[in-house]
């Protein structure tokens, strides 16, 4: 199959949406187990990301910028920063991370297995 840039970009937009929304719902005070699991989840997201070039590049970025799993705020800001490093690499605009948690409201209300405060 030939590379298809439009599809690759569509994949990227959907993947980033899930990535940021997941981080915006991570607990404020995660347990040690949740911290380990988030780290594993992001590492596997990177390793199995369907675009090979993207996966390779993102794994290098993860190595240099280890995921911050201490709280929702630090994880979400870290995710925004990583996306900005990809934006920089692709010569795209840098995103303002100050309202990252509000920007990625999942629309799923209060109830969540993870976080129901
Ligand atoms: P996207 O970058 O897809 O962003 C979607 C929307 O998210 C934007 O419109 C904006 O509203 C918001 N946004 C932008 N920046 C941020 C931020 N920092 N934090 C939060 N929200 C933000 N493509 C390649 O060609 N080469 C690669 O190596 C590559 N690596 C990738 C690695 C990963 C892990 C992912 C998920 C995607 C990768 N992509 C790569 C795809 C690329 O990042 C874009 O998704 C794609 O080019 C479409 O870009 P876009 O301009 O529509 O906006």
Give the model confidence (pLDDT) of 76-92 as tens digits. 999 999 999 999 999 99
Ligand 1 atom with minimal separation from the 45 CA: 34
Pairwise CA distance, residues 30 & 75, whole Å: 11
Question: Is ipTM strictly over 0.95?
Answer: yes
Cβ-based neighbours of 8, under 8 Å, separated by 6 or more: 51, 54
Q: Which residue CA neighbors atom 1 of ligand 1 most closely? A: 13
Q: Which atom of ligand 1 is nearest to the CA of 83?
A: 18
Distances (CA, A) of 63 to 6, 59, 92, 93: 28, 6, 22, 23
C-alpha–C-alpha distance, residues 31 and 70, integer Å: 9
Pick the CATH number of 21-103 from 3.40.50.20, 1.20.120.310, 3.10.20.30, 3.30.300.30: 1.20.120.310
Q: Per-domain residue ranges for the chain?
A: 21-103
pLDDT, average across residues 59-67: 97
104 lines ligand 1 (CB under 6 A): no
For tokens 């390779």, the residue is 56
Higher pLDDT, residue 111 or 52: 52
Closest residue to atom 47 of ligand 1, CA basis: 9
Q: Is the CB of 86 under 6 A from ligand 1?
A: yes
Structure tokens at 73: 């705020």
Instruction: Give the per-residue pLDDT at 111.
Output: 64
């Amino acid at each position: 199959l030939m590379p298809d840039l439009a599809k690759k970009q569509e994949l990227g937009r959907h993947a980033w949406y899930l990535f940021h929304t997941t981080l915006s719902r991570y607990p404020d005070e995660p347990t040690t187990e949740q911290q380990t699991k988030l780290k594993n989840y992001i590492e596997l997201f990177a390793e199995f990301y369907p675009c090979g070039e993207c996966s390779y590049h993102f794994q290098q970025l993860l190595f240099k910028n280890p995921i911050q799993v201490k709280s929702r705020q630090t994880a979400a800001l870290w995710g925004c920063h990583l996306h900005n490093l990809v934006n920089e690499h692709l010569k795209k605009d840098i995103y303002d991370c100050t309202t990252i948690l509000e920007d990625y409201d999942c629309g799923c209300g209060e109830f969540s297995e993870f976080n129901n405060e």
